[in-house]
Amino acid sequence: MKRLGRSMAAVVAGVGVALLALLAFPAASPAGTLVYQEILTGGAVDVEPLPIVIAMHGLGDRPEAFRLVLDDLGARARVVVPRAPLPQGDDGFSWFDFHAESDEQLAAGVRAAGEAVAELITSLLAAHAGPRRVIVTGFSQGGMLSFALAAAHPEIVAAAIPVSGYLPPPMWPAARSQVRPLPRVIALHGDADHVIPIDSARWTVEALRSNGYQAELRSYAGVGHSMNKEMRAALHDAIKAAIVELAAPAGDTAAQSPPLPPR
């Protein structure tokens, strides 16, 4: 097995996930300009009309490593882990240039990567039966893309759970979307993150709230730019709650999972 990318190495170190041999894993599959790995969780089988979870890795990582965060998700789902298009380091990948010279340049890179993922989502929804909106999540760059997809494509996103991400101000919604319901956004972030400070995530959440989104930020004391065991458990819980909401008939609030307890 190749070594983990830098961002995923931090995640695995934090959550204590054991590296398992890559046995019977589906091969990467082409869709649009991206390739991806797909896993079925919770005992699901391919012929089921499953909810789709898009999980996006961070800078220098790759799907073969990031998928370990969700391999044991305790819900029946089709988890799709796309690979970023730009080589980064020895064997990792990047979604965009994180060290852009301005917010506008960074936003342009995030926007282009987000559109590539949106194209992948559209193709997956066309190919599979199941809910017509997806759940998006990701770490670092993947967290930024989770925010971006919720803001730019609410029509195909039911829920977004960004981890250690934010949205550059030029990408904040300029007006309220007419899509209903808007995606629910639950951001998870360490309060000791010096790569993407938690204030950047806080401002992003406030910008979404001001445009009608049900958005919240959950902070984790002493956690830097990584995902510890508590954050990973919260990520799983948020995804499972979003899956229940996707399966519930419109307006059936009793069928929805309760929100995560306040922090």
Q: What are the structural domain ranges in the chain? A: 6-17+27-250
pLDDT for the residue 248: 75
At 155-193, the pLDDT tens digits run 999 999 999 999 999 999 988 899 999 999 999 999 999
d(CA 214, CA 182): 8
Query: Contacts from 209-212 at CB under 8 Å and sequence distance 24+?
Result: 211/172, 211/173, 211/175, 211/176, 211/177, 212/176, 212/177, 212/182
- Bridge partners (DSSP) listed for residue 153: none
- Condensed to tens digits (0 to 9), the pLDDT of residues 96-139 reads 998 899 999 999 999 999 999 999 999 999 999 999 999 999 99
What CATH code is assigned to 6-17+27-250?
Answer: 3.40.50.1820
Assigned token pair, 175: 């007006």
The 10s digit of each residue's pLDDT in 188-227 is: 999 999 999 999 999 999 999 999 999 999 999 999 999 9
CA nearest neighbour of 209 among 176, 239, 241: 176
